């Protein structure tokens, strides 16, 4: 087993969900930032959104792809 295959196998064996089930690839979360403030994002599994607390925005994830457009974001204070 190669190092990459072993790493992928160990990640699944440790109980981490595959990216397809998680809604967004965890490696993508490590590099994405808010397009408005350039601050870190957090993933809201229930709403399937990436949250920028600094901007007060929630960016939707559609078919596993984050939609990082201000026009598509939901304001956190708004019902939605």
**5 located within any domain:** no
Q: Residues 5-39: pLDDT tens digits?
A: 444 444 333 333 333 445 677 888 889 999 999 99
The gap between the terminal CA atoms of the chain, to the nearest Å, is: 47
SS3 at position 54? coil
> pTM (2 decimals)?
0.67
Model pLDDT for residues 39-73, shown as the tens digit of each residue:
999 999 999 999 999 999 999 999 888 999 999 99
- Which pLDDT does position 80 carry in this prediction? 46
Residue 15 domain-assigned? no
* 49 lies in some domain: yes
Residue/partner pairs of 15-21 with CB below 8 Å, 24 or more apart: 19/64, 20/64
Given this model, what pLDDT does residue 17 score? 38
Total domain count, the chain: 1
Other residues' Cβ atoms within 10 Å of the Cβ of residue 47? 14
pLDDT at 26: 81
């Amino acid at each position: 087993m190669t190092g990459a295959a072993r790493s992928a196998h160990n990640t699944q064996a440790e109980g981490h969900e595959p990216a397809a089930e998680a809604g967004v690839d965890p490696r993508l979360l490590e590099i994405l930032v808010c397009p408005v403030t350039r601050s870190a994002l957090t993933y809201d599994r229930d709403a399937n959104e990436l949250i920028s607390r600094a901007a007060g925005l929630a960016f939707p994830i559609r078919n596993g792809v984050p939609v990082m457009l201000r026009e598509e974001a939901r304001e956190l204070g708004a019902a939605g």
